[in-house]
Amino acid sequence: MPVRILIFEDNAGLREGLCQLLMLRDEYEITGRYENASQVITLLDQHNPDVILMDIEMPGISGIEAVRLIRTVNRDVQIIMLTVFDDHSHVFDALKAGANGYLLKRNVSDRLISSIGEVLAGGAPMSPSIARLVIGEMQTSKASAPYPLSDREKQILSSLADGNSFKMIASDLGISLETVRTHIKRIYEKLHVHSQIEAVSKAIREKLV
């Protein structure tokens, strides 16, 4: 049974180019091709595709909003974004909305066929520059979490934020007052602060508790 593909692309020339590329392969069936995604839920039900190729900028609703709508009713269909945008905002908005892959239109002729196979196999196909952007974001996010607090330290910091004294914390946790002081000293060092007020303020401001 051929793979059913539904296309949303407002550029008529590219839309037809996609169709011609896919029609060269017997394993694909283009169930529909549309210039906008205004009726995306109705068309999803009508065509029951295996894969959706979705442009981002279209008249009516954007491709990202269309993906959000699709994911309210269908978590299984595979969605590959096809776009000229390689900026942080478009990429991560699309992936957070529920897209499974992200290809730049300049890479479509070389990567579309392999990307469809990849997404159907459970992968997440991306143009090389997009993959680099995603990896960079992951590395930045990891680097931006410089407070390696232990579970106990988080527990004590949360109790401090609730206004509890050192003695109350020790009593509640069943540990000695000296142990509480040791933990708090480490908390101050990890948060780069010098007082209880600074620690609590930073914890609340940066949503550490």
pLDDT digits (tens, 9 = 90+) for 121-134: 999 899 988 888 87
Reported as a pLDDT band with limits 50, 70 and 90, residue 140 is: low
Q: In terms of pLDDT, which residue wins out, 87 or 180?
A: 180
pLDDT at residue 146, as a whole number: 65
| % pLDDT > 90, the chain | 65
pLDDT greater than 60 at residue 144: no
At 108, list the tokens: 């479509």
Distance CA 6, CA 52 (A): 5
Distance of CA 147 to the CA centre of its chain: 23
Euclidean distance between the first and the last CA atom of the chain, given in angstroms as a whole number: 52
Q: In terms of pLDDT, which residue wins out, 34 or 188?
A: 34
Q: H or E stretch including 45? A: helix 40-47
pLDDT greater than 60 at residue 194: yes
pLDDT greater than 70 at residue 143: no
Distance of CA 48 to the CA centre of its chain: 25
Residue count of the chain, please give it: 209
- Which domains, from first to last, does the chain contain? 3-142 (3.40.50.2300), 151-205 (1.10.10.10)
The model's pTM is 0.68
pLDDT at residue 134, as a whole number: 78
Neighbour count for residue 132 (Cβ, 10 Å)? 12
pLDDT at residue 128, as a whole number: 86
